[in-house]
Amino acid sequence: MAATLIELCGLISTSVAKVDARCKDLSTEYPDLNNPANSEDSESLLQDGAIAAATSIAIAAAAQLIASMQYPARSIMDASYGYVVATALGVIAESSTAEIIREAGPQGCHINDIAKKNGMDPMKIARLLRPLATNHIFREVSPNVFAHNRISSLVDTGKSFEAIQAAPEDKYMGAGGHAALILLNDDETFKGAAYIQDVVLDKVSEASDDELNTPLNRAFGTHTDLFSWYEKPENRKRFKRFGYAMDVSRRLSPTGAILKGFKWSDIPENSLIVDVGGGIGSLSLEIAQANPHLRFLIQDKAAVIQEGTQYWNTELPGALASGRVTFGEHDFFGPQSVKNADIFLLRFIVHDWSDTYSHKILQHLRDAAQTTTKLIVVEHLAPLACEEDPAFKHIPGAVPDSYPPKPLLPNLGIVNMAPYNVDIQMMSLLRGCERTFPHYWDLLKKAGWEIEAVHRPLGSLVSQIVAKPI
């Protein structure tokens, strides 16, 4: 055991030294945790190849060192109390406490002054902010006075508290930070997650393969799919927030990550990309801005299209008016009417649904595909906690070329928790899941598609699975 602890410490020390040396080469400094003013440009330093690799090793080793050295009962109890930080974060985001603290300035804001604005009980504000500060989200600069740090600033939309109060439904329109996604996680997902145990241990309902038997359905007493539920009048605020949360999820990967895998620039002039279930079209927007020679059709429900039209008119004026970008109402469980697509693009669609329903989506696209059509599935690829199956080594990008140094886990442990986090989110909201590569291989093949490559852009949380018709 002692040898393992020393190895882990060595990995941390060596990795930090590499980060420091690289920062000196770039004549810059690593972002300061206590500085809330770090811009996205300064955070982009973490996407530098050498820094990203060394940082991942250091984080994985530090987490494994804690797991190795901490009293096991403490570790398991800390895990069972995971809801504490999530709960606190959700309330702070929803109450616009982050904006109030930012407006108070770097000296911080007393809980009484926060309460005067948002109407909360000041002691409850402290009880929520203090566990966050203990987890390095916010700072308690003096008794009951809290200020932002580099992490908590991502809860802030950048808008004034007064503007949010005047138009609460538009809180996330044009907002900075990650509040929309935080609230998706800490509102409907969190409330649904409380019922996971009830659902997955109910053998009768599990055996029924009822797509509407989800923890969310039980939590909110409904028997409709998530997206129809969002369209109910009482969920208008959640519906609008969901669209912006998807935009935030795209921004979790480095800017231009979608452009650094599949070679969009190599596609011939006027090629048509059909973004199936594309929401407001945030991913297509990123591709379109860098590739003015391509055409786009974004397909989704009518209610989403209305939001998407407003989004594009703001972000890329003229694209809709010129006809280069269009929206079309479409149910992807029905036949695909577009028969001349050069690319069908699916981002965070397949993971929403069970294999049975995902097969329907993929089969309809295969039926509409030309022999030259490509399918690009942008999703998390859930890594195993052991080494991957070498049987897929012949497919570029399917299997890692190398693994991290021992004694680290082959999947880098906590560094790669994102796919598993989203997987449990899918279990909460829908009947979908995050899939391993072998799972995707089987799923696509049964629907008439063969995976020919996987792109994993540096720093991106998601992979691009490229398939061709069989």
Residues carrying an active site annotation: 351
Cβ-contact 437, 454 below 8 angstroms: yes
The total of other beta-carbon atoms located within 10 Å of residue 227's CB is 17
Name, in order, each residue with C-beta under 8 angstroms of 409's C-beta and a sequence gap of 6 or more.
60, 64, 385
Name, in order, each residue with C-beta under 8 angstroms of 414's C-beta and a sequence gap of 6 or more.
59, 60, 63
Q: What is the SS3 assignment for 145?
A: strand
Instruction: Estimate to the nearest angstrom the gap between the alpha carbon of 139 and the chain centroid.
Output: 25
Nearest to 57 by CA among 405, 386, 460, 401: 405
Q: How far apart are CA 57 and CA 43, in angstroms?
A: 18
Q: How far apart are CA 167 and CA 307, in angstroms?
A: 16
Tokens found for residue 58: 């250091």
Query: Residues 69-106, buried b or exposed e (16+ Cβ, 10 A)?
Result: eeeeeeeeeeeeeeeebeebbbbbbbbbbbbbbbebee
| CA angle (242 as vertex; 240, 246 as ends), nearest 5 | 125
Nearest to 462 by CA among 284, 278, 244, 253: 253
**Among all chains, which residue has been given the structure tokens 């808008």?**
159
Q: How far apart are CA 280 and CA 296, in angstroms?
A: 12
